[in-house]
Amino acid sequence: MSDPEKTTFQNAKFGEVSVGRDEILTFPTGLPGFERCRRYGLVALEEEAPFLRLLSMDNPSVGFVLLNPLLVWADYNPQIGTEDLEGLEITSSEELGIYCIVTLSPVPQQVTANLKGPVLINTRTQQARQMILVDERYHTKHSILAAGQASSQG
Amino acid sequence: MLVLTRKAGESIVIGNQVRITILEIQGRQIRLGVEAPGDISVHRGEVYERIVQENQMAIQEGEAELKALRQALGGKKSKS
């Protein structure tokens, strides 16, 4: 029986995916390179925690893996301009969610996180955008495993 | 492509919300000032392209790859 509170969509990998209203994110201008995909389901699979799936509701073959960067880089501190926050209508820090997009690889050492282009979410309105940092400390390929090993040793 | 010639101090207006001003011309470099509302993002072209490229590489959805990474991370953590 389908839950009226849930929205279903198709995904190439997971088949029919069902999400609640609070799991739907809207990117008003899409993501760079994927401008036409505006609505995404943010799906947390228990067996993949702490990674999350950001699955396009508009294109079954578009999906990303997200990670809260602070879990790996506790000192991650992107300079987010007031204009970016205003664009998302974020008025307090509690409303701000930050994720980074993970680029997978068969070689675990080569799985990287894009810290240059974090995904910002207004957790109140469920609106999101990928911002591009000017910050030179961050680039698009930070090895997750290397950072994870460093932080567990330290 | 629309091509316009401008001098330092002059500007162009795009739509009714975006203004680009030529602030300074020094040899091979030009300083631009961009005024745009917060919902219009402005980026250096090459940085934007890098993000597009990374996003395109990131859409592969490997369960096996994620599993291997989690095992590698978990393995190291349990030893420490």
**pLDDT tens per residue across span A55-66:** 999 999 999 999
How do the pLDDT tens digits run along chain B, 80 residues long? 999 999 999 999 999 999 999 999 999 999 999 999 877 888 899 999 999 999 999 987 678 888 888 888 875 444 43
Average pLDDT over residues A44-49: 89
Question: Which helix (H) or strand (E) element contains residue A145?
Answer: helix A144-153
Question: What was the pLDDT predicted at A152?
Answer: 63
C-alpha A31/C-alpha A38 separation (Å) is 8
List, for residues A66-125, the tens digit of each pLDDT value. 999 999 999 999 988 887 888 888 888 899 999 999 999 989 999 999 999 999 999 999
Closest approach of chain B CAs to the CA of A1, in angstroms? Answer: 28
DSSP track, A69-125 = GGGT-TT------HHHHHHTT--SGGGEEEEEEEE--SSGGG-EEEEEEEEEEETTT
- Mark yes or no for CB contact A104/B65 under 8 Å: yes
Quote the pTM value. 0.87
* Domain boundary assignment for chain B: 11-68
Chain B interface residues (partner A, CB cutoff 8 A): 37-39, 41, 43, 47-48, 50-66, 68-73, 76-77, 80
One CATH from 2.30.290.10, 3.20.10.10, 1.10.3430.10, 3.40.5.90 for A6-153? 2.30.290.10
- Mark yes or no for CB contact B65/A31 under 8 Å: no
| A141 lies within 8 A of chain B by CB | yes
